[in-house]
A and B are shown apart, each in its own frame.
Chain A
Amino acid sequence: MGMTMTQKILAAHAGLPEVHAGDLIEAKLDIVLGNDVTTPVAVNAFEKAGFTEVFDNEKIVIALDHYTPCKDIKSAELCKTARDFARKHNITHLYDVGTVGIEHALLPEQGIVGPGDCIIGADSHTCTYGALGAFSTGVGSTDMAAGMASGLNWFKVPSAVKVELTGKLQPYVSGKDVILHLIGEIGVDGALYQSLEFTGEGVSELSMDDRFTIANMAIEAGGKNGIFPVDEKTMEYIKDRFTREPVVFEADEDAEYAKVVKIDLSELKPTVSLPHLPSNTKTAEEVAGLHIDQVVIGSCTNGRISDLRSAASILKGNKVADGVRCIVIPATQEIYMQCLEEGLLKIFIESGCVVSAPTCGPCLGGHMGVMAAGERAVTTTNRNFVGRMGHTESEVILASPAVAAASAVAGCVAVPGTGR
């Protein structure tokens, strides 16, 4: 019996000729990641357990992206703990205010992660790097501490859900609509403990930014990881970024899948997830007209340049509706600079948006856009749980940058490209 793409990467990193779903293995890690929320807890665990050395100072990444620039004294203390640890252990990849971006946009952009890698990150959206053909999964702080100490971690080899993509996306439909649609189909535990392996001719129609968005939200279906095959677009993306040798893995033809889901990209419409679960999906058209108070365009899911171009194309020459606050957050400094050079910042500011420095801030109700009771937002983020963006009686509707921008202009949930 053959192996899935994920299983092949895990086998290679465990030094085994083959692995099977359910096997418990110990795998070598290429990158261990943490942020300002999870790293301090990992540092504490690392030191309390009595470890004194990291396994490799060039394979650990600490990105202070959640509460930065620090929103209060407590978060400043957390950042200091992480920063001091990074300096003490001479961690090459410390990203602080001025260089930091939202981690899951930053690592691929900086060429830190690439095809064939085995990566853990103490952040659930670490699954994003599957877009590059890597095995990458979110873990907790103790896992991060163990990874930093040993360069190894334990994994239960996952079975897989195969997602076969065909066709081509319609205008104003993007990777976000693909993943929201999929989560709506299979549910928030539809891929629990499993890999989501994306295949089919439709993959080549998806931009890298679309693939990052799709892999990013694998966790919202309960998935251990999401993964895309490596193709010309992947190689083009990593060229001039990734300096290690990429290792390309392909699923065996006789690989076994627990389930197969087929999606015709050409049939998808702009899709939203209503409160309070990402699986609570509707087409934007079905709920058009729902009043909103806030729009957030950014996050590790949708803060990349093509997301901001898409939003800007809709905001250009228009105004954010009265009574709506529209917050735009380029995910990294490089993307911020691109927005500047392409004139997107001007479009955002002229239309009445506020543009923030890179931060996860509002996505988790941290800062930069926390909501009051009774308020509702359309956001390009990834979770719409109770209280996610502020008060427990506030509501989050998940959507693509195009839907979010159209909604900002309309003052209610709107369908991009239709004037509604």
Chain B
Amino acid sequence: MMKGKVWKFGDNVDTDVIIPARYLNAPEPSELAKHCMEDIDSSFAGTVQQGDIMVGGWNFGCGSSREHAPVAISASGISCVIAASFARIFYRNSINIGFPILECPEASAAIQAGDVVSVDTKTGVVKDETTGETFQAKPFPPFIEKIIEKGGLLPYLLDNQQADNKHK
């Protein structure tokens, strides 16, 4: 269960504003976090608190394949992103690095900046503690749940390889 204050953004938040290309030459998560969202909200990186929650609109994370985007958001302290929909590479990248994201158009529309929201990623239940409203996000298919449980795609793959080797 996560609980945090909401940073709200609009539709089509692209990877160039999440982490501008001029900072991709230093891919360490702590460096990326310093510049996260700076081209649409220069106050974000300096004031975001550990555990805060990001809420976006439609097509969140569109644009480039840079995994630096979910890494930057995660390293900035954000615990989870809720959006009406996600661009597909951002979606994959988040799952692959074990960063929780939830697709829920109703929550995305209703939750306001500064609201306190709690999220249960297992059940997909999102509660706006400020207004008392609750929302149901789409649950992950079991396969993807397993990847997130293992902490990302590579630990999941390694586990599978080791399991395969035991059978041989």
Residues of A participating in the B interface, judged by any CB pair closer than 8 Å: 24, 37-38, 40-41, 44-46, 48-51, 67, 71-72, 74-75, 78, 121-124, 126, 138-143, 145-146, 149-150, 154, 188-189, 192-193, 219, 222, 224, 277, 364-366, 370, 383, 385-388, 392
**Additional pairs, 13, CB under 8 Å, beyond known A140-B65, A189-B62:** A38-B66, A41-B27, A44-B27, A51-B158, A72-B25, A78-B27, A141-B93, A143-B96, A146-B157, A189-B87, A193-B88, A222-B62, A388-B21
Cβ-defined contact, A383 with B155, below 8 A: no
Please, how many angstroms separate the alpha-carbon atoms of A50 and B67 in the complex?
Answer: 20
Count, chain B residues at interface, CB 8 A = 40
Per-residue A-contact encoding for B38-82, CB less than 8 Å = 1, 0 else: 011000000000000000001100111111100000000000000
Q: Given A74-B25, A366-B21, A386-B17, verify A140-B66 contact (CB < 8 Å).
A: yes
Q: Is B22 an interface residue (CB 8 A)?
A: yes
Cβ-defined contact, B59 with A49, below 8 A: no
Residues of B participating in the A interface, judged by any CB pair closer than 8 Å: 12, 14, 16-17, 20-22, 24-27, 39-40, 58-59, 62-68, 85, 87-89, 92-93, 96-97, 141, 143-144, 152-155, 157-158, 161
Closest to B156 in A: A146
What are 13 A-B contacts defined by CB distance under 8 Å? A38-B65, A40-B27, A44-B27, A49-B158, A75-B25, A124-B64, A140-B65, A142-B96, A189-B59, A222-B88, A366-B22, A385-B63, A387-B16
Number of inter-chain CB pairs below 8 Å: 130
A406 to chain B, nearest CB (A): 27
Residue among A50, A145, A192, A370 making CB contact with B87, cutoff 8 Å: A192
B84 to chain A, nearest CB (A): 10
Cβ-defined contact, A49 with B67, below 8 A: no
The residues of A that contact B155 with a CB separation of less than 8 Å are 49
Residue among A126, A150, A385 making CB contact with B14, cutoff 8 Å: A385
The residues of A that contact B154 with a CB separation of less than 8 Å are 45-46, 48-49, 51, 142, 145-146, 149
